[in-house]
Structure 1
């Protein structure tokens, strides 16, 4: 088994920022830049991975804003986050959970594809009402 678990997910701006900062679900590129460290903290705190009930250490977080341009202004509608967690050597029940649904818990749905070390694939859909899943690894 690999010694790391990778989580890659697109997080909409509506799950990260107050509604009054958004225009059509996006935040200005300039505002995103000034709030980058706050966004990192939200993502770190809002995504968790456990193995057998114990939290896994997050080794790294990489984020890339998806910017589109309109009238010479950049807008960020989504941030792609890649989180890297340390995995223990022994097999365990893995639990993924997210709390990234936004200040008003807007209608955000995450469609998750999980590929295990044996290359088997499972799909999950997470909402604010069902925000976690467990699989045996």
Structure 2
């Protein structure tokens, strides 16, 4: 039996977004100081954006608006994936594969959620 969704905090996509932000914060702790206001900041802001946009969309008045904010979350995930690749190529981190796989799973999960919501519009 599925649990009833009473809040955006009950959504798996939101929970995964929070986990991703936590993981990104941990990863970027090891980035060079000169990247603090560049790649480090950009990655962290994009990571926080994922769950924040899910939450904002959830509390909007319409499913159509919620879908719009889910698309923004997808964009943030693509941004993070790209920035992780750059961090790897700059040798700021060695292995991003697990995190990038998690991002891909999160993207698929959000796409599925969008498709389910669109059927209700």
TM-score (norm. length: structure 1): 0.34
Structure with bigger strand share is: 1
Structure with bigger helix share is: 2
Higher relative contact order (CA 8 A, sep 6+): 1
Bigger CA radius of gyration: 1
